[in-house]
Amino acid sequence: MNIRSIFTAAACALIAISASAQKAPEYEFTVVKENPVTSIKNQYRSGTCWCYSALSFIESEILRTKGQEVDLSEMFVVGKSYRDRAVKFVRLDGHLNFAAGSSFGDVLHVINDYGIVPQEAYSGFNYGTEMPEQNELDAALAGYVHAIAQNPNRKLTTAWLNGFDGILNAYLGEVPATFTVNGVEYTPESYRDALGINYDDYVNLSSFTHHPFYEQFIIEVPDNWRWDTAYNLPIDELMEVMYNAIDKGYTIAWGSDVSEKGFTRDGLAIMPVEEKKVAAGSDQERWVGKAADQPKEEVKAELPKEMEITQEMRQEGYDRKTTTDDHGMHIYGVAKDQNGNKYFMVKNSWGETGKYKGVWYASDSFVKYKTLNVVVHKDALPKDIKKKLGIK
């Protein structure tokens, strides 16, 4: 072997040692409590996480109360939501968010006002695909309502809403007036009633300091276009509600920011403490080089230490828009890692993707920091918190 080969081999060995030393930690999760959920769905190319997650939550509620597994139609809710939003958008001369996103409360309003249908009775895929692909529909509806709202004559015809319905029906299909499930004929309203879904059973909770605690406030995000209110709790009490819900057999509709680096696309959501880097040109770098350049013995990688979250950090994130209304998901369980740290088990709506086949493990720190709001059954609240909020 010549000198050049020796140096090349040594360099390769050094790279291998360094790479092996930086191997990502392996998480080992053990389930503490897992409540029943229906199968993983895929919102695919649509901004309808709010609907998929809220209906998943409702499906778990039906499992909990009736022991009955159902698959509810997301596009039934999406169509009704879009129609209600179009009416409000035009009434406000276009001064309202009109886009694919919405809220958990929107789903509950639709079910309360119009009922619900099963997926087998109404898939809503009337545009030639087997999964949601709604960019064209979103653009068509937005273009239409903007044109109506900006009508220079100001006086509207009686036809504009029929035109909007025509676009919806072309893309989603006409909603059936009746349908049959297990030999019984239902309307959307009677099916809702048979499933026992009651709008008044559910509460929306959040935790921010720009409004008083233990009172209701409107969460100021564009997707909350119905201007629904949430009860405001200190963050420690909101977390208490969430852990109590899982422990007592309830699940949770969870709205969160997922733009953080710690929310991976492989089933993990954590808030690791950022390591301080050696400054360029420092005395340490001069004598021993950068940490990444140093060969290390291969050792078992430790799980990263996570941030200690405060109420003030949450508020700063909301005020500076580093915490935003990104994604709706469905929390259904609690697990622990090999060090005993707690994680919420999260059902996502991106299909059976990632390491855990559509499930995410969200750490206590991540949930405490990045939760925008949750919806739970009112009986999932601890009695003392329920009393503070005046909920019966």
Any domain includes 34: yes
Question: Residue 167: inside a domain, yes or no?
Answer: yes
Other CB atoms within 10 A of residue 222 CB:
13
In a domain, 59, yes or no: yes
Residue 80 domain-assigned?
Answer: yes
Residues 69-128: pLDDT tens digits? 999 999 999 999 999 999 999 999 999 999 999 999 999 999 999 999 999 999 999 999
Q: What is the pLDDT tens value at each position of the chain, 392 positions in all?
A: 443 343 333 333 333 334 444 566 799 999 999 999 999 999 999 999 999 999 999 999 999 999 999 999 999 999 999 999 999 999 999 999 999 999 999 999 999 999 999 999 999 999 999 999 999 999 999 999 999 999 877 799 999 999 999 999 999 999 999 999 999 999 999 999 999 999 999 999 999 999 999 999 999 999 999 999 999 999 999 999 999 999 999 999 999 999 999 999 999 999 999 755 545 554 434 443 555 555 555 556 799 999 999 999 999 999 999 999 999 999 999 999 999 999 999 999 999 999 999 999 999 999 999 999 999 999 999 999 999 999 99
Cα–Cα distance, 183 to 181 (Å, whole number): 5
pLDDT at 20: 43
pLDDT tens profile 245-292 = 999 999 999 999 999 999 999 999 999 997 555 455 544 344 435 555
Q: Does some domain include residue 298? A: no
The domain that holds 173 is classified in CATH as: 3.90.70.10
CA distances from 68 to 185, 195, 375 (A): 17, 9, 21
Is residue 220 one of the residues assigned to a domain? Answer: yes
Residue 296 included in any domain: no
Domain count, the chain: 1
**In this structure, is residue 17 part of a structural domain?**
no
Domain enclosing residue 130, as ranges: 26-275+303-389
Look up residue 178 and give its DSSP letter.
-
The tokens 């119905």 sit on which residue?
226
**Predicted local confidence at residue 188, as pLDDT:** 98
